[in-house]
Amino acid sequence: GAVVSQHPSWVICKSGTSVKIECRSLDFQATTMFWYRQFPKQSLMLMATSNEGSKATYEQGVEKDKFLINHASLTLSTLTVTSAHPEDSSFYICSARKGAGGYETQYFGPGTRLLVL
Amino acid sequence: AQSVTQLGSHVSVSEGALVLLRCNYSSSVPPYLFWYVQYPNQGLQLLLKYTTGATLVKGINGFEAEFKKSETSFHLTKPSAHMSDAAEYFCAVSEGGSQGNLIFGKGTKLSVKP
């Protein structure tokens, strides 16, 4: 199998605080993980690509100082939303890429719903 | 740039009826194409993917999709809908083959009537 977990599944925080979301590949190693954001009734938008042992690559328009990504091991990537504000409320989904040599597939976590009050 | 268009944000079918969800893509290189399903408040689950070879791809839960290069399409079908198929379906294209990033369509919500 290829299981990806996220923690927490739900988080409510006050404006101005920071929130950390974890993404783990449970039964495989992933050198590359991705972070997406999904607004209600909309598609997934790629925020950044997380590479183990190196800096993340952010998509245009995503503030890297606000959305800190750390890919500390082959099974764990974290997304920290710093100084969160209500407009950061969203559904955050990670994925981990499994395989090599042209046979890679992304497997998605169950998502984390963030509500900033 | 690659893009994905899903025709119809909402499709409703009766239980037992044919499911057809449309997806068209644009790509300047041979695409890798995917269909994902998302149940409420959950992440995405891979239904099927096309990389190379046979253009008719079979996936989980009885779904299949056919890659038609001439039509730049990758429509998802299932002969007989079940109530449990009600979910959001996303078509995606990969830039740069299997190592590329995924570009998602806006999704199609499938409703199944009893």
Q: How many CB pairs under 8 A join A and B?
A: 49
Six-digit token pair at A20?
Answer: 């950390």
pLDDT at B91: 96
Q: Are A21 and A112 in contact (CB under 8 A)?
A: yes
Query: Residue A98: which pLDDT band, with cuts at 50, 70 and 90?
Result: confident
Q: State whether residue A88 is helix, strand or coil.
A: helix
The length of chain A, given as a count of residues: 117
What is the per-residue pLDDT across A1-38, written as a single tens digit (0 to 9) for each?
688 999 999 999 999 999 999 999 999 999 899 999 98
Query: Residue B107: which pLDDT band, with cuts at 50, 70 and 90?
Result: very high
In Å, what is the CA distance from B63 to each residue of A60, B74, B100?
35, 12, 24
A93–B contact, CB cutoff 8 A: yes
Q: Is the pLDDT of residue B20 over 80?
A: yes
B55–A contact, CB cutoff 8 A: no
CB nearest to B97's CB, from A102, A107, A113: A102
pLDDT at A82: 97
Contacts of A111 in chain B (CB under 8 A): 41-43
Q: Are A21 and A67 in contact (CB under 8 A)?
A: no
Q: Are A112 and A11 in contact (CB under 8 A)?
A: yes
pLDDT at A72: 84
Q: For residue A104, give the chain B residue with the closest CA.
A: B98
Q: Is the pLDDT of residue B101 over 90?
A: no
Q: CA–CA separation, A93 vs A71, rounded Å?
A: 15
Six-digit token pair at B82?
Answer: 């079940």
Contacts of A103 in chain B (CB under 8 A): 51, 98
Judged by CB atoms closer than 8 Å, whether chains meet at A106 and B51 is answered as no
Q: CA–CA separation, B31 vs B49, rounded Å?
A: 11
pLDDT at B93: 92
CB nearest to B98's CB, from A102, A107, A110: A102
What is the per-residue pLDDT across A39-83, written as a single tens digit (0 to 9) for each?
887 888 999 999 888 889 999 999 999 999 999 899 999 999 999
CB nearest to A110's CB, from B43, B98, B102: B43
Judged by CB atoms closer than 8 Å, whether chains meet at A105 and B106 is answered as no
State the number of CA atoms in the 13 A half-sphere of B29 facing the CB.
11
Quick count: other Cβ atoms within 10 Å of Cβ A18? Answer: 12
What is the per-residue pLDDT across B26-83, written as a single tens digit (0 to 9) for each?
987 888 999 999 998 788 899 999 988 899 999 999 999 999 999 999 999 999 999 9
A96–B contact, CB cutoff 8 A: no
* DSSP designation for B54: -
